[in-house]
Structure 1
């Protein structure tokens, strides 16, 4: 079982092992575990002595952002940015937390970038209690996701500037990828906003007024990102439709050119076929200037058909 722990006492903040942190009787402790083996559930049950409901919430494979009050504490699940390879439909890694005021136990399956930010705040002495820790983690998660959402919007802006039927295939792939990413982010950011709002409203003693303000700010940031992702999804759908229309218009134009060319050569094919028959009685068959007469007549017919289409504005 891998992980780390911090102990906050009057003398300051020090790093410890999870086993050492469980023996602390005074002060605040943060224990972080990586849930990649069966020892985590055993440790949570036998050493941390957590309730079965809390253990299930901390070790579940499939999770979504949530916040539930448990006696004087809370079970919290958040989603944040990770450097690990993720699926487009599931781009964010989860962190599960149990908070009871005197201790915070967090569990992750994949490394979260926000954990590093919170550890730095813990080491520098900015985090002194459970409320500070949760507020710092929520703030770090939403701040790291903000530029990711902004990049999706900038990517669509670039696609809109390049709207052209000749770039349709490349742009369609890019727009579809951005749309899938936006849907994956929004899938978790919308419930994350609700979870943070519920957390800020919990009637618990370990959340102070400034902690609630920071958590509410993180919830507002998550709400703004969820709204922007919804706008990105709608814009991507509109761009996709526009590209489809441009592509159809280009095909129509090319089909029109082919049709006009066919109409120009159709009478020529008839004339050459008529005078090219290998039968007796064809007029001017033995006349020395018949070839040039027929060629000139064919060119005149072709020019007449072309002028007709030009005057009918078929090329606009």
Structure 2
């Protein structure tokens, strides 16, 4: 992931080098510098631009959670958004940390986010004119990209509900566990992100216009709706797991009952055949020519009788 530096001179925005962006600070209406957090010189460069140690430490921290912290002349904003599809990153959501103040925005990310590409696109099209527009586009893009992912989780869970089958319990349990795990990860960051966006919309500062505040409030509402949907997905997946376990137990009980009935049918037959099959003297009809067929018919009658009894008592249901 490389750095991105843009300068808006009041007429058009253009992509520049880091030194050119630093030279434009304080004179251009908007300067945006996006730096990779993995680079060793990121913190030193931010300190050289006049940022305090606390702000630089927050921007370059390895672990963050969504939040908004106002300072004298700006605000520190941490957000979480989907990483790009080409990025080999273990987390589905990557963090972006922003320092926003009048005429300048510094952002740091450890991985490439889809939202940064949307910011660049709108900068190139001349739709971003100040720092408030940029942070608003970043927040709106992150929320818009999360919405389809949350909807996909709900659709996948709907498919699992329609195909609920105890015979596919192992595979379905894996799918449901994956959906639930991802929903928990999303909700873990969406709930504080909603609070962060609400606080950002209410922050005091001339760099944030009323129109930007309305867009941030809308993004916060969408984040709240997605957090509620994720909570519902988590609860539904837990309920489906319980239902699948119950169906699996019922299937096992049914099969065990069938085996038990079969054993009960053959138990008296085993006793009869074992009794007459003993190799000792004195067995009745031992030398009678029809003994085999008599015992065979008798065993069949016993088997039919036991089966009829079980059917009559409805033990097989």
- TM-score normalised to structure 1 length: 0.97
- The answer to whether 1:23 aligns with 2:47 is no
User: Could you tell me whether the CA contact under 8 Å between 1:76 and 1:96 is conserved in 2?
Assistant: yes
For residue 4 of structure 2, give the secondary structure of its aligned residue in structure 1.
strand
Q: Aligned residue pairs: how many?
A: 313
Correspondence 1:165 to 2:148: no
> Which residue of structure 1 aligns with residue 156 of structure 2?
155
**Counterparts in 2 of 1:91-130, with a 5 A limit?**
91-130=92-131
Matched, 1:313 2:288: no
Deviation at 1:164, TM superposition (A): 1.1
- The match for 2:272 is 271
Residue 75 of structure 1: how far off its partner (Å): 0.3
**Distance in 1 (alpha carbons) for counterparts of 2:14 and 2:237:** 49
Matching residue of 1:33: 35
Q: TM-score, normalised by structure 2?
A: 0.97
Return the offset for 1:309: 0.4
Q: Any conservation in 2 of the 1:69–1:75 contact (CA below 8 Å)?
A: yes
Unaligned runs of 5+ in 2: none
Distance 1:289 1:269, change over 3 A: same
Aligned partners of 2:150 and 2:226 also within 8 Å: yes
Structure 2 SS opposite 1:238? helix
- CA contact 2:89–2:111 (8 Å) conserved in 1: no
Structure 2 residue 240 is the aligned partner of structure 1 residue 239: yes
Corresponding residue for residue 12 of structure 1:
12
User: 2:294 aligned with 1:301, yes or no?
Assistant: no
Whether contact under 8 Å (2:131, 2:207) holds in the other structure is yes
Name 1:43's counterpart in structure 2.
Answer: 45
Deviation, structure 1 residue 2? 4.1
**SS at 1:207 equivalent:** coil
- Check conservation: 2:10, 2:129, Cα contact below 8 A: no
Determine the C-alpha separation between the residues in 2 that align with 1:204 and 1:49: 19
Point out 4+ residue stretches in structure 1 off by more than 2 angstroms: 83-87
Work out the CA distance in 2 between the residues paired with 1:279 and 1:23: 112
Distance 1:164 1:35, change over 3 A: same
Aligned-partner Cα distance in 2 for 1:18–1:201 = 31
| Structure 1: stretches of 5+ with no match in the other structure | none
Cα distance in 1, alignment partners of residues 271 and 5 from structure 2: 91
1:122-171: per-residue Cα shift (whole Å, max 9, x none)? 11000000010011111100000000000000000000000111111111
